[in-house]
Amino acid sequence: MKKFKNIKNKNLKRGFFFLMFLMISGMSEKIYAQTVTGVVISAEDKLPLIGATVQKVGTNQITITDFDGQYTIKATEGDIIKFSYLGMKPKTLTIRSKTLNVALEIEADALDEVVLIGYGEVKKKEVTGAVARVKAEEIENIVTSDLGNALQGQVAGVNVVSSAEPGGDSEILIRGVTSLTGSNQPLYVVDGVMQESDPRIPPNVIESIDVLKDAASTAIYGTRGAGGVILITTKQGKEGVLKVTLNSNYGIQSLNGTPTRLMDANQQLFSILVQKRNTNSLGLGDDELDLGFSLRPSSYQNNTNLYDYVVIDNQPTQTHTLSVSGGTKEVKYDVTAGYFKQEGSLVNSDFERFNIRANTGYNKGKWDIKAIVAVTSEEKVQSPGGLITQTIKYSPLQEDLRDNDPNETLETLGGASGNVLGWVLDSFQNENVLNTLRASTTFNASYSFTKNLKVTSRVGTSHYYTYQHEFNPYQEVVDVFGNLRSPVQSSGVQNTALKRLSNTFDLFANYNLKINKDHKLTFTLGTSYEKYSSESFSAEGFGVADNSVKVLGGTTLSPIVGSGSNYTNRTFGLLYRLQYNYKDKYIFSSSIRRDASSRFPSDARSAIFPSTSFAWNVSDEDFWSSSLKSVVNNLRLRASYGEVGNERVGNYLYQPTVTTDYQYVYGRDGNDNLTNGSIQNGYANDQLKWETSVQTNFGLDLGLYKNKFTLSAEYYHKTNNDMLFPIELAGSTGASNNSTIVLNIGNMTNQGVELAGRYRDNIGNLKFNMAATFATNKNRVTSLDGFGRFTLTNDSGLISGARDESQVTAIAKGYEAGAFFIYGTDGVINTSERLAEYQKINPAARMGDLYIVDANKDGQITNDDRTYHGSGLPDFEVGYNFNANYKNFDFSMNWYAALGHEIMNGAKATAFGYGRHEDLIYQWSEVNQNTPVPAFKDLIKNHPTYNGNTDLWLEDGDYLRLKAITLGYSLSKKTLESLGGISRLRFYLTAQNPITFTKYTGYDPAVGGNVSRRGLDKGNYPITSSYMIGLNLNF
């Protein structure tokens, strides 16, 4: 019985526990199956917040609010839910029922936002220098392969000239020109690692961009900070469930702008007739038709326009990005892969890029470790340089491309034009392909020894490889007499390989010290080491026997010529910074960096760059009453001073170099021999010094009505000392032709004002924000040692094939660097009195010639008669950005304007100089004497009238451009639930560069270039308007 009883008791116990299990399970199921819903609104205007984050604390369970501010999340009573939204204070609440509505308050002090500075980060209210931030959402609607294009108009004081060429780089100037010969580009720092040049990071992987503009902010980077600093933070994973994002778009590029107006066959024949009459060289009948048939009967009907072959409209472009991100409290990850493809608008040009980037982070205990690996592969097919201008030179009387067959042997009118045709034909078959592979790694490890002391070690490596293959096929082009115009020597193969390696190492410590509640000190102490090396090799052979064999071994003329180069440079720096904060009202910062660079002589290799800055949060003072603060909630004043250097100049400038590209004749008694030899390439300057930049900055930050309206204003004055400039050496020095020596020749200043304002508000269900930027810059060369009134740069002239001294830009005291110094003109010599007057200056002048002004009245036309005619640097820049959301719709547009600069229209000059411009039908003649168009008497190389160094080609470069306009629509949450697993699906239409307002007659008024080429339009790559459709998909 006892045994039975025990069994019975066991069964009862099992039954009891089973019943308890069922009850608990039922309760548990009931609890955890509970769905909590609610609405998240703004406490200020009671409107729903779209996209607010709702997270169950301690878990990976996250959701976001829909367009009505509604959310749904699985939770149970007692769970803690965190609500957060950008620009608002987060709120944490405990679940008490199935419904939980939340009102979030606006972050009254937007200055609590953290921004990056060199080797650290601070709250925005603690920033003492000129720092601007651009967030990912501000550039996400601009579809481009180039970071600079996305930045244009976003930051006051940052001048960006974008390239229309597929895969082309933008040119970025921060607060004006900083060097005459060295790099004016800013320093790029990606995830803390300094880059040797533009890292070409796709904008879609960028989380934020911080631009350091004043010397107090950039001095911590020493020799690398002269051109400003762009700090790029790439996207990193966030704690939560796995998130998959797909962004994709496809579009068509439509040619934007008007090509140079050229004559048709009838007009060209008429122009030739007028030309021959003006030069007394007609020798034919007076009838244009007779003239046409005398040249070649078929030429009258050709009417050839090579634009139809060289320029291609409606080319496609596409972008696709896939990212996977997520993580836990300790480990986070983000992996992004992208593809970009753009077909060019010029024949034989396109660009294709694949990229993948993996960011991983580990944070546990005192360790914070980040590892980043990025790989980018690019292929750029490049059209020949000068293709537009060569096309302009081609006469409509010349043979067309028969049946679009570029392989056919063609007849031309002879003369120089035959070479033009051969050159253009080559452009259809030439291969110029540049393949690039970039691989970079970053490892960042921080260890917090105490709550106040953190030591960071950062290692970065970058491998950059390029391989360029150029193939010029053999083609037979003959003139009407059967003479070969394109010999076999003009064909060939050239291969070039380049390898660049960079290694950087940073070790620095940050120590925070608080004394009471009023005093806060932050110390930064560190060291930095950079090593850059480059090695290149090139080989070329001539004489292609078979166009299907496109390798060096297929060339027939010997020898194959090889060349190469290599260099290594190193920089070592020590850095220190102290920041003192008293009651969050007064912030003082100072830094010192000492750098040594191998690019300078040993006795001038190192330099020290100090800075100091101060900020006063006026609105935090006790005298700032609450009633005043309700209107002006933020007022800050800033002042700074700093010095930075520029070491990005040529290598080995202080050491003599030699070249072996010269041949010598030796022997005697008629037995001369030719052999290769060496010659000194240039003279060294062992007195070379740093270029240094000294800058002062005064700033104001203003916030009204809880930062509904914000404004930042800056005034800066920057002096660049000991500027480097190449001086050409005479051949008698024994150096090679056109050799130069680089000297420190003078000083230059930049000063300007910058304004950046932002306003955000709601009107019912409409949410919008608008931002505007305004910047001025006045650049002046203040001293120029050892020169006269000006010295011409090496801009190579506006028109190819022009006479000597055809340059148009110069360096002159009191003017902008690279200002236009050209000849003034005074119309056409159209009376005997004007002719007699001008022949005192130029006895060879004839009626119909251009009257060039003798500015110094010395009775002759020389370089001393050149006068200042503006520059390609804009005086003012304006940006305007607008974003709005209404229920499921979103809209944005970006405008940019550049004002107060000039452009030298080289395409127009080429058309006149080679007798092709349509206006030449109105040129001077005996029966058309009252015309503003001078007579065309010969090609530019033989007659000075249409040379490129006069004000005939000077045009107003002002323009206003709609950079991008986008309209998007996102599916509602209810619709997404039926699709399953999709958290967001947005479709959008966007147009880029659809509208440009300008008086400039060329293709594009945005003309970049270095100091010697800024504002020179030599037939630049034609700009396009892009029209795209795309989608954003989140899982």
pLDDT in tens, 262-272: 998 888 888 88
Residue 139: pLDDT band (50, 70, 90) is: confident
Contact 787, 727 (CB under 8 A): no
CA distance 278 to 281: 8
Contact 935, 924 (CB under 8 A): yes
Sign of CA dihedral 238, 240, 242, 248: negative
**345's tokens:** 């608008």
CA distance 419 to 412: 9
Q: Which of 170, 190, 772, 119 is nearest to 461 (CA)?
A: 190
Strand residues in 705-840 grouped as ranges (E): 709-728, 740-763, 766-776, 778-784, 790-792, 809-812, 819-823, 825-828
Strand residues in 671-739 grouped as ranges (E): 673-682, 691-704, 709-728
Residue 764: pLDDT band (50, 70, 90) is: confident
For the segment 37-71, what is each residue's pLDDT rounded down to a tens digit?
A: 999 998 876 778 887 888 888 777 788 888 788 89
The mean pLDDT of 577-587, rounded to a whole number, is 95
SS3 call for 875: coil
Side by side, which strands form the sheet with 819-823?
Answer: 790-792, 809-812, 819-823, 866-868
pLDDT for the residue numbered 19: 38
Average pLDDT along the chain: 85
Q: Inform me whether the pLDDT recorded for 2 exceeds 80.
A: no
Residue 274: in which H helix or E strand, if any?
helix 265-278
Dihedral-angle region of residue 69 (phi above 0 means left; psi in -120 to 50 means alpha; beta otherwise): left
Provide DSSP, 569-633.
Answer: EEEEEEEEEEEEEETTTEEEEEEEEEEEETTS-GGGSEEEEEEEEEEEEGGGSTTS-HHHHTTEE
Q: Strand pairing partners for 78? A: none
Q: ω into residue 473 within 30 of 0, thus cis?
A: no
Q: Which of 161, 165, 146, 162 is nearest to 382 (CA)?
A: 165
Q: What percent of the chain has pLDDT over 70?
A: 86
- What separation in angstroms does the CA of 726 have from each of 178, 650, 721, 742? 16, 11, 16, 4
Contact 627, 705 (CB under 8 A): no
Determine how β-strand 35-42 pairs with β-strand 102-104.
parallel
Q: Inform me whether the pLDDT recorded for 664 exceeds 70.
A: no
Of 58 and 90, the structure prediction assigns the larger pLDDT to: 90
pLDDT for the residue numbered 306: 78
The mean pLDDT of 325-345, rounded to a whole number, is 93
Longest CA–CA span in the chain (Å) reads 146
Contact 324, 356 (CB under 8 A): no
CA distance 241 to 327: 7
CA distance 898 to 170: 16
Q: Which of 143, 47, 22 is nearest to 765 (CA)?
A: 47
**920's tokens:** 């030449």
**127's tokens:** 């920033």
Q: What angle do CA 721, 722, 725 make, to 5 degrees?
A: 125
CA distance 732 to 753: 48
Q: Which of 276, 278, 201, 274 is nearest to 235 (CA)?
A: 201
Classify residue 813 by its DSSP letter.
B
CA distance 263 to 266: 8
Q: Which of 722, 831, 796 is nearest to 226 (CA)?
A: 722
Of 662 and 691, the structure prediction assigns the larger pLDDT to: 691
**724's tokens:** 């480097």
Q: Which of 789, 773, 772 is nearest to 781 (CA)?
A: 789
For the segment 968-995, what is each residue's pLDDT rounded down to a tens digit?
A: 999 988 888 788 778 889 999 999 999 9
- Look up residue 943 and give its amino acid: H
Of 503 and 3, the structure prediction assigns the larger pLDDT to: 503
Contact 893, 964 (CB under 8 A): yes
For the segment 283-309, what is each residue's pLDDT rounded down to a tens digit?
A: 544 555 455 445 555 555 566 677 877
Q: Locate tokens 């900070």: which residue?
A: 225
Residue 556: pLDDT band (50, 70, 90) is: confident
Q: Locate tokens 């059967």: which residue?
A: 482
pLDDT for the residue numbered 307: 81
Q: Locate tokens 């006795």: which residue?
A: 603
SS3 call for 236: coil
CA distance 954 to 990: 34
Q: Which of 199, 121, 946 is nearest to 522 (CA)?
A: 121
CA distance 217 to 170: 23
Residue 269 has phi, psi (to 5 degrees) of: -65, -40
For the segment 794-831, what is each residue's pLDDT rounded down to a tens digit?
A: 777 888 766 666 889 999 999 999 999 999 999 999 99
CA distance 273 to 267: 10
Strand residues in 213-264 grouped as ranges (E): 229-234, 240-255
Q: Inform me whether the pLDDT recorded for 673 exceeds 80.
A: no
CA distance 832 to 838: 10
Residue 883 has phi, psi (to 5 degrees) of: -135, 140
pLDDT for the residue numbered 421: 55
pLDDT for the residue numbered 425: 60
Most confident listed range (151-165, 283-297, 519-533): 519-533
Describe the chain by its helix, strand, coil percentages, rounded to 5: 15, 50, 35
Classify residue 1002 by its DSSP letter.
S
Q: Which residues of 885-896 are buried (b: 16+ CB within 10 A; e: fewer)?
A: beebebbbbbbb
**338's tokens:** 């992208």
pLDDT for the residue numbered 26: 40
Name residues whose C-beta falls within 8 Å of residue 945's C-beta, 6 or more positions apart in sequence.
849, 850, 934, 935, 936, 937
pLDDT for the residue numbered 670: 66
Contact 128, 216 (CB under 8 A): yes
The C-alpha R_g of the chain, in whole angstroms, comes to: 34
Residue 387: pLDDT band (50, 70, 90) is: confident
For the segment 418-460, what is each residue's pLDDT rounded down to a tens digit?
A: 445 555 666 677 889 999 999 999 999 999 999 999 999 999 9
CA distance 610 to 607: 10
Residue 118: pLDDT band (50, 70, 90) is: confident
Q: Inform me whether the pLDDT recorded for 517 exceeds 60.
A: yes
Q: Inform me whether the pLDDT recorded for 609 exceeds 80.
A: yes
Calculated CA dihedral for residues 134, 504, 361, 326, nearest 10 degrees: 50
Determine how β-strand 410-412 pairs with β-strand 477-479.
parallel
Name residues whose C-beta falls within 8 Å of residue 36's C-beta, 6 or more positions apart in sequence.
72, 73, 74, 75, 81, 95, 98, 99, 100
Residue 306 has phi, psi (to 5 degrees) of: -70, -10
